[in-house]
């Protein structure tokens, strides 16, 4: 029975890790945080069962640092690409707010479209130049692309560290 429960815990943890990892495609979905929560639940259950050694804690700390770093890097990359085009913080905040608010009332996929649309409309209003507003929106899209690649890579490393932890434990 114990082997069954341990296997079930590992399968469920892996499924949540993969869901969080694949969810990284959606910009406002907190995929790295979801992945970290899966690792946290795994650590708590393992600790309560007496199965957490120093390696498990070390790998959990590394997963935690990756989650924090990945969430910070995500925003830095997108904001840097927009700031390189001299997009003001007010337009950036309108873009982020549009994505979040629309996602709350509709779906995250529609929110994913609302964010660059919000930036385009804010920049078009500010610059009164459609082509310049579109170029600034492309900077958001480029930043999101690089941000996605960074988060996706970090998420993969988190899964690999958890797999090492589960295998070594």
Boundaries of domain holding 131: 2-168
Which pLDDT band holds residue 37 (cuts at 50, 70, 90)?
very high
Per the structure, the count of domains in the chain is 1
pLDDT tier for residue 27 given thresholds of 50, 70 and 90: low
DSSP assignments along 36-95, one per residue = HHHHHHHHHHHHHTT---HHHHHHHHHHHHHHHHHHHHHHHHHHHHHHHTT--HHHHHHH
CB-based contacts of 87: which residues, under 8 Å, 6+ apart?
A: 119, 123, 136, 139
The per-residue pLDDT of the chain, averaged, comes to 91
Nearest of 103, 20, 112, 109 to residue 66 by alpha carbon: 20
Instruction: Kindly list the distances between the CA atom of residue 90 and the CA atoms of 24, 94, 99, 124, in Å, as whole numbers in the listed order.
Output: 25, 6, 14, 13
pLDDT digits (tens, 9 = 90+) for 42-84: 999 999 998 899 999 999 999 999 999 998 988 889 888 888 8
Residue found under tokens 């507003």? 133
């Amino acid at each position: 029975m114990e082997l069954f429960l341990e296997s079930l815990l590992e399968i469920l943890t892996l499924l949540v890790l993969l869901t969080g990892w694949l969810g990284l495609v959606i910009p406002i979905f907190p995929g790295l945080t979801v992945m970290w929560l899966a690792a946290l639940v795994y650590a708590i259950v393992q600790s309560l069962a007496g199965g957490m050694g120093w390696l498990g804690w070390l790998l959990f700390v590394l997963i935690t640092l990756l989650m924090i770093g990945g969430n910070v890097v995500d925003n830095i990359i997108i904001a840097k690409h927009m700031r390189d085009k001299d997009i003001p913080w007010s337009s950036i905040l309108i873009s982020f707010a549009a994505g979040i608010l629309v996602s709350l009332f509709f779906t995250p996929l529609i929110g994913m479209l609302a964010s660059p649309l919000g930036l385009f409309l804010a920049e078009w209003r500010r610059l009164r130049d459609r082509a310049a507003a579109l170029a600034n929106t492309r900077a958001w899209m480029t930043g999101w692309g690089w941000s996605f690649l960074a988060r996706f890579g970090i998420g993969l490393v988190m899964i690999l560290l958890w797999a090492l932890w589960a295998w070594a434990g």
